[in-house]
């Protein structure tokens, strides 16, 4: 049987899938797994989490991508109810021609609704719309101890709050009722602005963020000295008029694993310099389709293979406003001193918009994400330094991207973890949760 893994391919623990295509098969899957003497399991969507939060402690997961039907759709109000295995891509294909789009989307459309709820994902519009969970109206959950339960802000509220951002631990999500966002076009009016250093980024962001629903910045994290922190600020709004056109599904696929990582100091330097210099003028305005705007990386399917068999780790943190600038500068400095470099350094200002989720990652401040090819020294050296910086600055790491944080850091950054633990489905346990709670 083919095995499953996580997006970063680190840590490497192949997962045996137990595929489920229908909600009423979940009970059976629970008993089959228990009958086979497996102590725990975990729901699995598309495996687009980077670290070990989508890996079962037992390495036996319930694969839910086959449960991908629309249960009801009201194109007058934009409320849809879908099975949890529907992907964001699948939902866009159905909703966009009717004038609706996702209220919040992460940087890949190849995630399931169940996964989006379990990580309470955020997007480039966090400062306007908050997290995904704020737009979820109802969740149908199947628990191994209580059977099927409906939860919403009005019914079983505590279980609802625990399930939003609950890392898949409160039960198997069967269905999600979601409020979509109306759009008049499938295009985005995009503005790119070059900035020369970090201070310029923060200045730009405070002047410009209110003009755009979507904002994100890319930083050349290999540039040192005076140009440390240079990059591009990208803002976007849905076009006011135009076509409602679903992007065609063609993508290139990373066909095989290269024998070694294609990501090394040389390719990184070239890539980052080219990326920064691609835009000569300071400000460039264009109209682009939603697909390259939100999902530039999806064009190269399975790009994670670029890092070779050893895989890679993403380091994503959010730092409160008071300490944001200095902490980000310090993190970028540590990274460039280490020569560790990253293809992607992404900065985004998050707002103080509360999510119902107990363990939601975003909070007011600046979020920074960096990718690193996996090396043995990563966790012990670089990440240890970065973790100390983040901890001191009052920030926290994103469980969906994590493969290393300590129980101490996790528990002080997410004090509500104990409430989630008390609401956990006793049959569900991830490698991440075991690591950060024991």
Of 380, 328, 322, 318, nearest in space to 349 by CA: 318
Please choose, out of 40-48, 94-102, 261-269, 330-338, the segment that lies near ligand FAD by the rule CB under 6 A: 40-48
Of 106, 115, 105, 61, nearest in space to 83 by CA: 115
Phi, psi of 182 (to 5 degrees): -70, 140
Residue 318 as a binder of ligand FAD (CB under 6 A): the answer is no
7 interacts with, out of another protein, ligand FAD, none, CB within 5 to 8 A per kind? ligand FAD
Q: How far apart are CA 73 and CA 95, in angstroms?
A: 9
Q: How far apart are CA 273 and CA 251, in angstroms?
A: 26
- The contact pattern for ligand FAD, residues 228-257, with x = CB under 6 A and - = no contact, is ------------------------------
Exposed/middle/buried for 75, CB within 10 Å: 0-12, 13-18, 19+?
middle
48 interacts with, out of another protein, ligand FAD, none, CB within 5 to 8 A per kind? ligand FAD
Q: What's the min distance (Å) between Cβ of 282 and ligand FAD?
A: 26
Q: Which of 15, 53, 58, 355 binds ligand FAD (CB under 6 A)?
A: 53
Please choose, out of 69-77, 149-157, 228-236, 328-336, the segment that lies near another protein by the rule CB under 8 A: 69-77
Q: List, in sequence order, every beta strand (DSSP E) within 211-319.
A: 214-219, 231-238, 252-253, 283-289, 300-301, 312-319
Residue 66 as a binder of another protein (CB under 8 A): the answer is yes
Q: How far apart are CA 411 and CA 437, in angstroms?
A: 8
Helix, coil or strand: residue 434 = helix
48 touches 302 (CB < 8 A): no
Residue 5 as a binder of ligand FAD (CB under 6 A): the answer is no
Q: What's the min distance (Å) between Cβ of 2 and another protein?
A: 5
- The contact pattern for another protein, residues 148-187, with x = CB under 8 A and - = no contact, is ----------------------------------------
| Two tokens, residue 185 | 């076009």
307 interacts with, out of ligand FAD, another protein, none, CB within 5 to 8 A per kind? none
The continuous run of DSSP H or E covering 161 comes out as helix 157-163
What is the size of the binding site for ligand FAD (CB under 6 A)? 33
Residue 341 as a binder of ligand FAD (CB under 6 A): the answer is no
Q: Which of 12, 13, 70, 437 binds another protein (CB under 8 A)?
A: 70
- DSSP state letters, 316-341: EEEE-HHHHHHHHHHHHHHHHHTT--
Maximum Cα interatomic distance, the chain, rounded to a whole number of Å: 64
Residue 78 as a binder of ligand FAD (CB under 6 A): the answer is no
Residue 2 as a binder of another protein (CB under 8 A): the answer is yes
**For residues 329-358, which are near another protein according to CB under 8 A?**
none
Q: Which is nearer to ligand FAD, 84 or 183 (CB)?
A: 84
Residue 311 as a binder of ligand FAD (CB under 6 A): the answer is no
| β pairing state of 214-219 and 42-44 | unpaired
| β pairing state of 100-101 and 181-182 | antiparallel
Q: Which of 14, 24, 252, 270 binds another protein (CB under 8 A)?
A: 24
Q: What's the min distance (Å) between Cβ of 34 and ligand FAD?
A: 18
- Give me the residues paired with residue 152 across strands: none
Q: What's the min distance (Å) between Cβ of 376 and another protein?
A: 29
Q: Which is nearer to another protein, 178 or 403 (CB)?
A: 178
Q: How far apart are CA 278 and CA 275, in angstroms?
A: 5
Q: What's the min distance (Å) between Cβ of 384 and ligand FAD?
A: 24
Q: How far apart are CA 414 and CA 148, in angstroms?
A: 28
Residue 151 as a binder of ligand FAD (CB under 6 A): the answer is no
With tokens 């569900």, the residue in question is 428
**Reduced to 3 DSSP states, what percent helix, strand and coil does the chain have, rounded to the nearest 5?**
35, 25, 40
| Two tokens, residue 401 | 């991207």
Residue 253 as a binder of another protein (CB under 8 A): the answer is no
24 interacts with, out of ligand FAD, another protein, none, CB within 5 to 8 A per kind? another protein
**For residues 83-112, which are near ligand FAD according to CB under 6 A?**
84, 106-108, 111-112
Q: How far apart are CA 12 and CA 110, in angstroms?
A: 21
Binding region for another protein (CB under 8 A): 1-2, 17, 19, 21-22, 24, 66, 69-73, 80, 94, 97
* Interface residue list for ligand FAD (CB under 6 A): 7, 42-49, 53-54, 64, 84, 106-108, 111-112, 114-116, 118-119, 121-123, 167-168, 172-173, 297, 400, 430
């Amino acid at each position: 049987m083919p095995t499953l893994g996580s997006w970063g391919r680190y840590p490497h623990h192949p997962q045996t899938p137990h595929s489920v295509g229908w909600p009423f098969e979940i009970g059976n899957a629970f008993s089959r797994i228990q009958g086979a003497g497996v102590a725990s399991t975990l729901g699995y969507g598309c495996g687009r989490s980077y670290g070990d939060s989508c890996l079962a402690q037992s390495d036996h997961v319930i694969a839910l991508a086959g449960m991908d039907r629309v249960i009801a759709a009201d194109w007058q109000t934009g409320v849809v109810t879908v099975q949890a295995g529907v992907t964001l891509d699948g939902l866009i294909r159905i909703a966009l021609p009717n004038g609706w789009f996702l209220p919040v989307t992460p940087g890949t459309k190849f995630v399931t609704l169940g996964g989006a709820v379990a990580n309470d994902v955020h997007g480039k519009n966090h400062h306007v719309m908050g997290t995904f969970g704020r737009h979820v109206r109802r969740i149908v959950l199947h628990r191994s101890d209580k059977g099927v339960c409906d939860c919403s802000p009005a019914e079983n509220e505590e279980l609802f709050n625990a399930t939003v951002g609950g890392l898949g631990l409160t039960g198997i999500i069967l269905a999600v009722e979601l409020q979509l966002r109306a759009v008049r076009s499938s295009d985005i009016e995009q503005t790119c602005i070059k900035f020369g250093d970090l201070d310029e980024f923060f200045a730009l962001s405070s002047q410009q963020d209110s003009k755009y629903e979507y904002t994100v910045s890319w930083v050349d994290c290999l540039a040192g000295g005076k140009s440390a922190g240079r990059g591009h600020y990208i803002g976007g709004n849905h076009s006011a008029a135009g076509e409602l056109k679903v992007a065609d599904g063609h993508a290139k696929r990373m066909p095989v694993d290269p024998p070694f990582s294609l990501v090394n100091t040389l390719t990184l330097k070239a890539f980052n310099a080219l990326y920064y210099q691609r835009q000569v003028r300071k400000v460039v305005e264009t109209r682009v389709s939603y697909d390259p705007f939100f999902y530039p990386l999806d064009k190269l399917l399975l790009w994670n293979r670029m890092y070779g068999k050893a895989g890679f780790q993403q380091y994503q943190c959010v730092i409160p406003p008071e300490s944001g600038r200095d902490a980000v500068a310090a993190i970028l400095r540590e990274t460039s001193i280490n020569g560790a470099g990253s293809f992607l350094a992404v900065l985004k200002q998050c707002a103080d918009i509360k999510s119902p989720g107990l363990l939601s990652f975003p909070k007011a401040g600046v979020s920074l994400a960096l990718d690193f090819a996996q090396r043995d020294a990563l966790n012990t050296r670089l990440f240890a330094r970065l973790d100390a910086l983040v901890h001191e600055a009052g920030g926290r790491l994103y469980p969906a991207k994590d493969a290393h944080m300590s129980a101490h850091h996790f528990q002080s950054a997410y004090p509500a973890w104990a409430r989630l633990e008390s609401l956990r489905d006793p049959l569900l346990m991830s490698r991440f949760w075991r690591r950060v709670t024991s």
